[in-house]
Structure 1
């Protein structure tokens, strides 16, 4: 009888474990027992040297306490004393999937480094929902501060000490990474970043609320300010504090985030921010098409535009 009772309890537990608590397609689902299951698998590739371009990469620890890390890329060195602009890249993925170490982002940032001749730090922030928001924002800011600790040439990483030009720093991100990138620029504007000049920000198909994704963001962020939370939906006062001189934005015609990105652009232009902003729309394209099909004509054009932005004096 005790054995039958045990089987009955096990069956009840298995049934409970199979019941969904939350479903956010195409990102993740949560079962009633707390298990998180993602719809898409993210592969990880190791850092490597790329002989055709001369780009090298290595992985660095940003915070031993949180385990946050990043992939650092450096272009071919024409001489031992050369300096390059520094690009801090924030990957997308709905705050809950993807990685700086995935094949797609490793390849894309490596291509940016080769084409633009910049050093890049691609941040691998902790993912929601296991690490609720604001972990992704805090981790990305910690990476910015870690990079800035090299401005005097005495940080822990020799590539940054010897070859990063901290008077030419850029932030860039796509999708959710674009959202995080905006908060980084706003934080620089309000808190400062000694020894560092953030020249420009690149936002590719950024997420700024106003879509069906909002409920997922609110779920991942237990302590939020609702749909008007400035991280989700920055207002004019928040935009006026952006700590950079230039912003370059990209939208795609068939992207569900297109309207909110255009809204951000219009709000930024009307705010009291003193910088310049440009927006480029790719017709006939979907969300993050440049990552899905990096060899297509529009992806090549997008890359060329970013490279020009990073190299502009």
Structure 2
């Protein structure tokens, strides 16, 4: 008879392997997160470095700075939140390091790619709390006397964007709602970029039910914003761009979000871009494809409009 140490209680492989839980409580990740160090990219001139954001929770962020032509100029600031079903990946993994390097180079923005503690060891809403802590850390530089010189010297705190993909887009949306209800002193949130956002619908979702035990269910507005349309009127920005992929299983949920925001009474401008024939976050895995480059151009235009 298998011992509790080897007997599997639950296994989560929704569209790619995530983790399994053993009966003794041990968690085994089925896809480990690779990391790469910060760098000075020779092709683009983009510099990156890591900095501690929260000593209490040992959370860091990776900052990205484009090649600066005018050291006195202030450029848009993007706070980026990575995806990975709330369970995998990090700001320091190769796909996010490479994507942020490309985005910062193309759009000429400064970016802060933030870390959050991951489920299931740290169930939701901990990721939301960690993201808000990181956002407040960034906002503490609004008077240009914060601990990070790159932000003090180069960020335009009147042109701040939240951005994220998949689960990170979910978090970015919720941070925009929180900024609307709680306020965010020190910066002006102009826009939000949601790339292939991970939202729920009315169908059961075993993963979310496991990693978010305090959720109120399918219609919890943190996971299913379209279920609470009136709350969307309080989004604390003037522009939103939703990007969906034609073959993504989450596409319809992104479209439902777009339609819900339009109906909510929110007085900003929301646009949606669909890339036909592509799967979830294809641009991370095939960044040199023509469709990925076209999407990068659209994202860059949104950040500089």
Aligned match of 2:12: 24
Shift of 1:291: 0.7
Shift of 1:82: 2.0
Aligned match of 1:274: 267
Q: CA RMSD in A?
A: 1.3
Q: Secondary structure at the match of 2:73?
A: coil
Describe the superposition over 1:54-97 as per-residue Cα deviations: whole angstroms up to 9, x where unpaired.
11111011100001111001111213322111000000000000
1:247 aligns with 2:236: no
Shift of 1:256: 0.6
| Structure 2 gap segments, 5+ residues each | none
Describe the superposition over 1:26-77 as per-residue Cα deviations: whole angstroms up to 9, x where unpaired.
2111111111112212110011111221111110111000011110011112
Shift of 1:128: 0.4
Aligned match of 2:159: 168
The structure 1 segments of at least 4 consecutive aligned residues displaced by more than 6 Å after TM superposition are none
TM-score, with normalisation over the residues of structure 1?
0.93
1:115-154, aligned counterparts within 5 Å?
115-154=106-145
Aligned match of 1:94: 85
1:15 aligns with 2:3: yes
Describe the superposition over 1:220-271 as per-residue Cα deviations: whole angstroms up to 9, x where unpaired.
1121211111111121122111101001111111111011111111111100
1:289 to 238, 263, 282: 282
Aligned match of 1:6: none
Q: Tell me if the contact between 2:8 and 2:23 (Cα under 8 Å) persists in the aligned partners.
A: yes
The number of residue pairs the alignment matches comes to: 300
Aligned match of 1:179: 170
TM-score, with normalisation over the residues of structure 2?
0.96
Residues 104/251 of structure 1: CA separation in 2 closer, same or farther (3 Å cut)? same
Describe the superposition over 1:104-130 as per-residue Cα deviations: whole angstroms up to 9, x where unpaired.
000001110001010000011111001
Q: Tell me if the contact between 2:203 and 2:218 (Cα under 8 Å) persists in the aligned partners.
A: no
Q: Tell me if the contact between 1:211 and 1:257 (Cα under 8 Å) persists in the aligned partners.
A: no
The structure with the larger Rg is: 1
1:42 aligns with 2:46: no
Q: Secondary structure at the match of 1:223?
A: coil
